Structures are given as structure tokens and as C-alpha cells.
Amino acid sequence: MGFKYPLYKICIVGDFRVGKTTLLNQYLEKRFTPNVTSTIGSNFYVKRIKIPNVKNLITLQIWDLAGQEHFKWVRHEFYKGAKGIVYVFDLTNRKSFENLTNWKAEIEKAIQRFSSVLVGNKLDLINSENRVIEKEESDKLKEFLMACGYFETSAKLGTCIDDFFLKLVSHIYKSLEK
Ligand code: GDP
Ligand code: MG
């Protein structure tokens, strides 16, 4: 029954400075842009991707908060129609990890059925001595968020970014197009 050329809206969320815009820059342009300036107003980007075992390309419309992380009252509209949520925290910042439960509560007020993925970013800054968030904790949060996967990424190096998008989009496809 599904649509022939699916278009999914995806929102990337998480605290200010966790690396959302940089992740999107890497995903869309394959490069690292240091010191991304935070602009007011949300931005969206369009990308077409191929997922395994699906003939037609899928169009993604990816929305970024672009500096609106502090302005709770404007975000209800931002989420409307989203089929996928990317929850991002900074692996060096525990507060950003804990705050994702608040992001979830806010999103669930705006939209009902969606797929999500959990992303711990800035992996390049983590080594065995300074890891503050253990994988087990992240897996627990993943369960709580009902996310389809947990990925540790580096927006600086481009690590694992394609992977989490592919996982999220495949999950959306499976839940909608059957
Ligand atoms: P946003 O507010 O969530 O959109 O965060 P930004 O994308 O603006 O990134 C905030 C800061 O973290 C910027 O200075 C980025 O260059 C830096 N940054 C983002 N991702 C990474 C990463 O994976 N590794 C490192 N080392 N820095 C990052
Ligand atoms: Mg940003």
C-alpha cells in the first residue's frame, strides 16, 4: 500500500552545542564546519537516499533547530508531521544526556507515532580515561526513548553518521510502508 516516492520529515533535537548542526553539515556535505554560527529560525535540508531492498529513493526533509534550543514555545510547530527524531547528546556533557528525557516529553506532546534514534556525539573527544557516559547507560536511555538504535558519532571526523540515518530511515520505512 505504501507511497511510491516516500518523503519523511526528520527533526534533530538535543541541547544547544551538542553538535546537531555540525552532524547535519557532515551528513549533507561531508565536511566539518567549525564554529557554526547559531541563527534564529529553524532550517531544513533535503536529501534523497537509497535504503537496502527498496527500489525507489526516499526523500528526507531534515529540520534543525538552528539556535531555537532555548525557546520552548516555538517548537510545537517544528515537530509537526515528523516521522523521525534524532536525539543527540554530547558524550562529554552529562546534562545534555539527562535532558533528553525532557526533549522526549516535549516531542510526545506534539506528535504521536514516530521512529527515533539516539546519538552520542563528539566521540573524538572521548578516551578510556575520560568517558563519563557508559554504553550501558546509553542503552538504558535508548530503551526509555524507544529509539531503534544507539550510535556514537563524531561530527568532526564523520564517524557513524550515515549509519544512524540509514537505521532511522529503514525503521520509518518498515513502520509506514508495509
Ligand atoms: P548545535 O548547537 O547542537 O547545533 O551544535 P553545533 O553543531 O553548533 O556544535 C557546537 C560546537 O561543537 C561547535 O564548536 C562544533 O564545532 C563542535 N562540535 C560539534 N560536533 C563535534 C564533534 O563531533 N567533535 C568535536 N570535537 N567538536 C564538535
Ligand atoms: Mg545548531
Q: Could you read off the pLDDT of 109-167 as tens digits, one per residue?
A: 999 999 999 999 999 999 988 899 999 999 999 999 999 999 999 999 999 999 999 99
Answer whether 142 contacts ligand 1 (Cβ < 6 A).
no
- In what side-by-side order are the strands of the sheet with 82-90? 43-49, 58-64, 7-13, 82-90, 115-121, 150-152
Sign of CA dihedral 116, 121, 127, 130: negative
Q: Answer yes or no: is 52 within a domain.
A: yes
Measured in Å, residue 67 CA sits from the centre of ligand 2 at 5
Q: Answer yes or no: is 44 within a domain.
A: yes
Q: Answer yes or no: is 2 within a domain.
A: no
- Which residue segment(s) compose the domain that 120 sits in? 7-176
3-class DSSP string for 35-51 = CCCCCCCCEEEEEEECC
- Find the CATH number of the domain harbouring 125: 3.40.50.300
- Closest atom of ligand 1 to CA, residue 155: 23
- Average pLDDT for 81-108: 97
pLDDT at 71: 74
Q: What cell does 73 get?
A: 514555545
pLDDT at 29: 82
Q: Answer yes or no: is 117 within a domain.
A: yes
C-alpha distances in angstroms, 65 versus 3, 33, 156? 28, 17, 19
Q: Ligand 1: which of 22, 42, 64 to mutate, judged by most atoms within 8 Å of the beta carbon?
A: 22
Q: Answer yes or no: is 76 within a domain.
A: yes
pLDDT at 13: 95
pLDDT at 52: 92
Q: Answer yes or no: is 1 within a domain.
A: no
Measured in Å, residue 52 CA sits from the centre of ligand 2 at 30
Which candidate, 59, 105, 97, places its Cα nearest to that of 79? 105
pLDDT at 1: 43
- Average pLDDT for 161-175: 97
Domain count, the chain: 1
pLDDT at 72 over 50: yes
pLDDT at 4 over 60: yes
69 in Cβ contact with 92 (< 8 Å): no
Answer whether 89 contacts ligand 1 (Cβ < 6 A).
no
Closest C-alpha residue for ligand 1 atom 17: 19
Q: What is the pTM of this model?
A: 0.93
Measured in Å, residue 161 CA sits from the centre of ligand 2 at 16
How far apart are alpha carbons 160 and 140 in whole angstroms? 20
pLDDT at 19: 97
pLDDT at 35 over 60: no
Coil vs helix vs strand at 26? helix
- Average pLDDT for 78-105: 96
Answer whether 156 contacts ligand 1 (Cβ < 6 A).
yes
Q: Answer yes or no: is 72 within a domain.
A: yes
- Give me the DSSP letters along 109-172: HH-SS-EEEEEEE-GGG--TTT--S-HHHHHHHHHHHT-S-EEE-BTTTTBTHHHHHHHHHHHH
- Closest atom of ligand 1 to CA, residue 66: 4
Q: Answer yes or no: is 167 within a domain.
A: yes
* Rg of the chain, C-alpha, whole Å: 15
